[in-house]
Amino acid sequence: MNVPNPNWFLRARLKTRQLLLLIAIDDERNIHRAAEALCMTQPAASKQLKDLEDMLGIALFERLPRGMEPTIYGESMIRHARMALTSLARAHEDIIALKSGLAGQVDVGSVMTPALRLLPRAITRVKQQVPQLRIGVQIESSNELLERLERGTLDFLLARMTSFHDHADLQYEELAPEPVVAVARAAHPLAGRSDLTLADLAQAPWITPPPGSILRQRFDQLFHNAGLEPPCDVVDTSEIVLITSMLQMSDALNVMSADVALRYQELGLLTILPLELDCRMDAFGIIRRRDRLLSPGAELLLQAIRSEAAAQQPQSPLPVPAAVKDIEFDMEIA
């Protein structure tokens, strides 16, 4: 079995121009338009692509009557080309920032829950130490953030590992589990009930994620396990802005992590219903690529996040059940 040569690109004299060409062809699906985008002649572009394919011994693109489509080998090479060029661009940005007396750039992706308390506290701590450090934050679902991490546009994530991505190249460090609570508008009729049961919630209107989503499946299973039919009066959405607005103007209910709910309750927007739910959300944690070195600024932010996570005491608005069931919620915007 041949052992892969980690420095094959040196022997091949791989050019940055060839990486740019791969990406341009992928974007344009036409070598003539790709050459124009790079201010090259088509013969020169064709020769650079042929040289690379000859060196690798495979076809990177399938030539079609009306364009070009990447082969499975081409898709892999294009993905790595994008990551390599993104990394080089970030390196140049860091150098420019350091020359200007700044501390570089950190881009972190986060799901909703750590973005409400943990991440803001960590960022505040870091900015007190290094005010010049530029920190970019993107809030999205775990699946979307994992794709951006793979493309190299984010340094690390505060998110959940999902079954939709290959974990071989990822390093995961768990930070915190999350209890789940039911929420409603302030002064909701169910908020003052001391005898509230899951059967009462089954009869209420709900705002839930669309059918087929992980959260919807597990939400329905919560009622099935109690011998109840899931709520039938539902609005399907996972958009948090719409959810909070609809909760305030109706008697609908929603289920979310306790940390998110606590924040909205502090603002007087929502109230947490007095009912223990025997379930928990999947834990979130730090996710980073194994093959990527972090900048000093990114490492500094990571240390602050770890410190804040260790110092943050669990905040549960309800007593934690003695035995937590095996039902786990994985929110779509989580």
Q: Give the C-alpha separation, 218 to 234, whole Å.
A: 15
Which two tokens mark 181? Answer: 């609570």
Mean pLDDT across the stretch 88-94? Answer: 72
Residue 213 has pLDDT above 80, yes or no: no
Backbone angles phi, psi at 198, to 5 degrees: -65, -30
Alpha helices in 15-141 (DSSP H): 16-28, 31-37, 42-56, 72-99, 112-116, 118-129
State the average pLDDT for the chain: 82
Residue 100 has pLDDT above 70, yes or no: no
- Closest C-alpha among 253, 207, 272 to residue 234: 207
Residue 35 has pLDDT above 70, yes or no: yes
Burial class (CB in 10 A: 0-12, 13-18, 19+), 186: middle
Alpha helices in 209-295 (DSSP H): 214-225, 240-248, 258-266
| Lowest mean pLDDT across 121-130, 233-242, 276-285 | 276-285
Q: Give the C-alpha separation, 329 to 220, whole Å.
A: 11
Residue 60 has pLDDT above 70, yes or no: yes
Residue 2 has pLDDT above 80, yes or no: no
Q: Which residues pair with 135 in a beta bridge?
A: 106
Residue 123 has pLDDT above 70, yes or no: yes
Q: Around Cβ 163, how many Cβ atoms within 10 Å? A: 8
Half-sphere exposure of 261 (CA within 13 A, CB side): 24
Mean pLDDT across the stretch 230-246? Answer: 90
Q: Give the C-alpha separation, 296 to 104, whole Å.
A: 8
Residue 12 has pLDDT above 60, yes or no: no
- Closest C-alpha among 134, 68, 61 to residue 96: 134
Q: Give the C-alpha separation, 223 to 231, whole Å.
A: 8
Give the pLDDT score at 8.
Answer: 56
Mean pLDDT across the stretch 255-273? Answer: 88
Q: What is the pLDDT of residues 164-188, one digit of tens each?
A: 656 778 899 998 877 788 999 988 9
Q: Give the C-alpha separation, 332 to 198, whole Å.
A: 23
Mean pLDDT across the stretch 50-66? Answer: 87
